[in-house]
């Protein structure tokens, strides 16, 4: 009954097979391997972006921080949603790689910044005044930290405001595949066609061992990103093992199949949790993350029987009145089964 995170799942069979195949013989180092050339073609083709520059790094934090550092000056503001991963879960990495910068979280109902909130947030940052940070970059997470989805039109509305103010837009796509299958659109429609300049394309949470791609839709900044990646200690010497993971992930639609399954398991779990006595959803379930609320007594029963997930916020306690509702986050992965979901729900229902 593992619902703590999609990080807890193993590597998918197609990714493992690709890594094993890449282990045979010798290969050039530092991203010059032939597998990386295949990965570049795969991403360019699937994103309809023949000029895009693609670079691999081992972690989502590296992908996000390097991407943001490419477009944000040291005195710039990084506009993000409140509770954005770059703000609360990356230990100051964006500011570190920028050499400055200031996270500027905006109100985000259900994890999503609205155009009105973003415009108001920009207006609160005086420009041309030496006492204040200047406009830097907008970053959006899709799926959001609340498990909700930005659709192409919503992204386009935000990027239009950013462009009018001279800002570039980054997308934290740690769960991009989950967002993509939920949106029912193409990778291009969810990114550059909607105004995204640079994407952190996640693989780790959806079946890879540890690899993320930075996708630059404007290749003019490619050389600078190469330098920042090396200087930031994220250029692998045995790069073929990063390349192989991404190759196995993207080939024959494996990434979309795995994400679709995770989303379906989350929808099944979401419906069951909402139907519990005293149960309700905290946010809409758009992808593979469920935020639900139900009585403390049921949480005690679930966790006591080995259910692994997190209360959200974590400041809540299992000690207290049995019928008081507590909210929690549940994450389904590519390896979550119907038996996992149904067994967990049966446990709660029996209580």
Residues 270 and 224 in one domain: no
pLDDT in tens, 179-192: 999 999 999 999 99
Closest C-alpha among 118, 103, 112, 78 to residue 198:
78
Instruction: Select from 219, 254, 289 the last residue of a domain.
Output: 254
Number of domains in the chain: 2
Please report how the helices 240-250 and 34-46 are oriented relative to each other, as an axis angle in degrees rounded to 10.
40
**N- to C-terminal Cα separation, the chain:** 16
248 and 278 housed in the same domain: no
* Average pLDDT of the segment spanning 216-230: 97
Query: Is a pLDDT exceeding 90 seen at residue 124?
Result: no
Of the three residues 191, 223, 254, the one that is the final residue of a domain is 254
pLDDT value at residue 351: 80
What CATH number corresponds to the domain at position 114?
Answer: 3.40.640.10
Rounded to the nearest 5°, which phi and psi values hold at 89? -130, 15
The whole-angstrom separation of Cα 143 and Cα 162 is 20
Tell which residue, 345, 299, 305, has the closest CA to residue 319.
299
> What mean pLDDT value characterizes the chain?
97
Do both 177 and 290 map to the same domain? no
* 102 in the same domain as 73: yes
Q: What is the mean pLDDT of residues 257-261?
A: 98
Compute CA distances 304 → 91, 278, 308, 309, 339, whole Å: 32, 20, 9, 12, 19
Q: In this structure, are strands 168-173 and 134-141 parallel, antiparallel, or unpaired?
A: parallel
Range of the domain at 164: 11-254
- Number of neighbours of residue 41 by Cβ within 10 angstroms: 13
Confidence category of residue 254, pLDDT binned at 50, 70, 90? very high
Query: CA-CA distance, 171 to 141, in Å (whole number)?
Result: 6
Instruction: Quote the pTM value.
Output: 0.97
The rounded distance, in Å, linking the Cα atoms of 190 and 143 is 11
Does residue 308 share a domain with residue 194? no
| Among 222, 238, 254, residue at a domain's last position | 254
Query: Are residues 193 and 87 both part of a single domain?
Result: yes
Residue 57: strand pairing partners: 212
Is pLDDT of 125 > 90?
Answer: no
Contacts of 34 (CB under 8 A, 6+ apart): 27, 28
Which CATH number characterizes residue 279's domain?
3.90.1150.10
β-strands 198-202, 289-295 pairing: unpaired
276: in domain: yes
Is 1 part of any domain? Answer: no
Q: Do 213 and 323 fall within a single domain?
A: no
Which pLDDT tens digit goes with each residue over 294-332? 999 999 999 999 999 999 999 999 999 999 999 999 999
In terms of domains, do 228 and 320 share one?
no
């Amino acid at each position: 009954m593992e619902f703590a995170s999609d990080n807890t799942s193993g590597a998918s069979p197609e990714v493992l097979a690709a890594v094993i195949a890449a282990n045979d013989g010798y290969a050039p180092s530092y991203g010059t391997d032939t597998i990386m050339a295949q990965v570049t073609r795969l991403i360019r083709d699937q994103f309809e972006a023949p000029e895009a520059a693609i670079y691999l790094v081992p972690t989502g934090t590296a992908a996000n921080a390097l991407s943001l550092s490419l477009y944000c000056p040291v005195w710039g503001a990084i506009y993000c949603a409140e509770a954005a991963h770059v703000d609360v879960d990356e230990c100051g990495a964006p500011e570190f790689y920028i050499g400055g910068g200031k996270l500027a979280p905006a109100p985000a109902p259900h994890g999503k910044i609205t155009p009105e909130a973003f415009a108001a947030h920009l207006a609160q940052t005086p420009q041309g005044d030496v006492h204040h940070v200047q406009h830097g970059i907008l970053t959006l997470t899709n799926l959001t930290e609340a498990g909700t989805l930005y659709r192409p039109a919503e992204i386009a509305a935000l990027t239009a405001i950013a462009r009018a103010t001279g800002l570039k837009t980054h997308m934290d796509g740690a769960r991009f595949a989950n967002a993509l299958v939920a949106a029912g659109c193409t990778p291009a429609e969810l990114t550059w066609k909607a105004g995204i300049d640079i994407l952190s394309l996640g693989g780790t949470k959806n079946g890879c061992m540890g690899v993320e791609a930075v996708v630059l839709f404007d290749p003019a900044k490619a050389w600078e990103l190469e330098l920042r990646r090396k200087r930031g200690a994220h250029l692998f010497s045995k790069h073929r093992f990063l390349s192989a993971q991404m190759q196995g992930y993207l080939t024959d639609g494996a990434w979309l199949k795995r994400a679709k399954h995770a989303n379906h398991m989350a929808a099944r779990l979401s419906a069951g949790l909402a139907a519990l006595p005293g149960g309700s959803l905290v946010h809409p379930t758009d992808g593979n993350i469920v935020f639900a609320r139900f009585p403390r007594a049921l949480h005690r029963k679930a966790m006591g029987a080995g259910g692994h997930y997190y209360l959200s916020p974590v400041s809540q306690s299992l000690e207290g009145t049995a019928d008081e509702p507590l909210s929690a986050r549940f994450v389904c992965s590519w390896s979550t089964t119907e038996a996992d979901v149904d067994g967990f729900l049966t446990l709660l229902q029996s209580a």
